Amino acid sequence: MMRFIVIRALESLVVLALMSFVVYGLIGLMPGDPIDIMLAGDPNMTPEDRIRLRALYGLDVPIYQRYFTWLGAALGGDLGYSRTFSRPVLEVMTPYLGRTALLMFTSFLLSVAIAIPLGLLAAVRQRRLADYGINLFCFAGKSVPPFWLALMLILVFAVELNWFPAGGIETVGASGFVDRVRHLVMPVACLTLLNLATVARLMRAEAITAMRQDYVRTARAKGLNERRVIWGHAMRNALNPVVTVIALEFGTLFSGALITETVFAYPGMGKMIYDAILGNDYNLALVGLLFATLLVLVGNLAADIGYAVLDPRISYR
């Protein structure tokens, strides 16, 4: 077990290293040169200053050399400064990271808690009204443009009904726990709805497969009541493949979080990365993307381990 975890963790590190190189290269290709931005702010600079500045910031060497210089500094804990915030990147990012983790984690738990019973219900009532209803709901959830769902939630619950605030994380001046929760409701609901469909559909398919197995027939033949058969036997076995897919859904969950945060003006990692890219804040964008990747990888890893724990038949490579 330990060996399995270590190998998977190492694999994740390799992915992260590759990603850092790819993103580092891509960030260098974005419009606007950091030196040009500096020059634009000071009309007294000459072309010679420009060359000197490039050398000073190490921009005159090939990209792979720059990457390794950056990597060395990053591993030493120096992730650079954010241009727009004029503060160390890590310091800027930490609160954003916490807020995204809160949003993603809450939505994730909620969507799994709703999707599993929903999928199970659809499987039990196969080809009946409840099944068709749930199926349609899932198709809609998979087909709705995520940002549009967010906009519709705002239209209905903020503009028309005025139940919840349309965005942000707290009302200016009126801080407090209830106020913060009220701001969280719509982003969480949006992300949960987006994530629900995939899990529910898969749960339905797996539960249907499980209910055809011999152990379910045996359980029924033993005279167990239907509830024990469904929750104890069918669900327990259907859960394993569902967990693996949830693992692969972490990237999608983050994409959803990015959109949700942007529309609801929720200051999380997704919105931070988006704003950093649009604002030419290269260091922040780079580190933000890497932490987002890390978040996804840790999610995948956790789900992999969960899978191994859930299913004792798995042998750890």
Partner 1 sequence: MTATLAKAERPSQRSRALARFVRHRGAVVSAFVLVLIIVAAVAAPLVESWLGHGPNEPDLGKRFQAPSWAYPLGTDEAGRDVLLRLMYGGRVSLLVGLVAALASALIGTTIGILAGYYRGRLDAFLMRLTDFVIALPTLALLIVLAAVDLKKVGIPDSIAYSEAVSLYRIIFIISIVSWTGVARLVRGATLSMRTREFVRAAVALGAPARRIILVHILPNVVGPVIVATTLSVGGIILLESVLSFLGLGIQPPIASWGNMLSNAQELLTQAPQLVIYPGLAIMITVIAFNFLGDGLQDALDPRAGE
List residues binding partner 1 (CB under 8 A): 15, 18-19, 23, 26-32, 139-140, 142-148, 151-152, 154-155, 159, 205, 208-209, 248, 251-252, 254-255, 258-259, 262-263, 270, 273-274, 277-278, 285, 288-289, 292-293, 295-297, 300
Which CB atom, from 18 or from 55, has the smaller least distance to partner 1?
A: 18
Q: Which two tokens stand for residue 224?
A: 């167990």
174-to-95, 154, 169, 206 alpha-carbon distances in Å: 20, 21, 11, 47
Smallest distance, partner 1 to C-beta of residue 157, A? 12
Smallest distance, partner 1 to C-beta of residue 12, A? 8
Which CB atom, from 224 or from 277, has the smaller least distance to partner 1?
A: 277
Distance of CA 215 to the CA centre of its chain: 37
Which CB atom, from 6 or from 152, has the smaller least distance to partner 1?
A: 152
Under a CB-based contact definition with an 8 Å cutoff, are residues 169 and 271 in contact?
no
Under a CB-based contact definition with an 8 Å cutoff, are residues 23 and 290 in contact?
yes
Handedness of CA 88, 90, 96, 98 (dihedral sign): negative
Query: What does DSSP assign to residue 267?
Result: -
Smallest distance, partner 1 to C-beta of residue 77, A? 23
Smallest distance, partner 1 to C-beta of residue 288, A? 8
Smallest distance, partner 1 to C-beta of residue 306, A? 16
How many residues in total does the chain contain?
Answer: 317
Which CB atom, from 115 or from 285, has the smaller least distance to partner 1?
A: 285
Which CB atom, from 166 or from 224, has the smaller least distance to partner 1?
A: 166
